[in-house]
A = this chain, B = another copy of it.
Amino acid sequence: MYLVLVYDIKLDVQGAKVLRNVFKICKKYLTHIQNSVFEGELSDGQLLKLKIEIQKYLRQDIDSCIIFKGRNNIWMQKEFITDEDDKTSQFL
């Protein structure tokens, strides 16, 4: 299955650590395409593992994370409205 994951982490005292960990986990499973946006093809099992791992860090009441899932990416066209050069270098 193809999916797009978008998160918004509240950058309070704990936020930087949450962001670092969530980013690292997402990069393990998906392709980072924009600051808080990842995409990729995952099996059900991989998606379940990803969710379990990130939920250890995400704070349910103040952080946001949404996954858009589809059978495959044929349905979906991706259009960059701004330059596409790598703005994903926020983290090494």
Contact = CB atoms under 8 A, between A and B. Distances in A.
Interface string A32-65: 0111110000000000000100110011111111
B66 A33 contact: yes
A22 to B, nearest CB: 10
Nearest to A39: B68
Interface in A55-92: 55, 58-71, 75-83, 85, 87
Interface residues of A, number: 37
A68 B68 contact: yes
11 contacts: A6-B6, A6-B34, A6-B36, A8-B87, A51-B81, A58-B81, A65-B82, A68-B78, A69-B76, A69-B79, A70-B77
Interface of A: 4, 6-8, 33-37, 51, 54-55, 58-71, 75-83, 85, 87
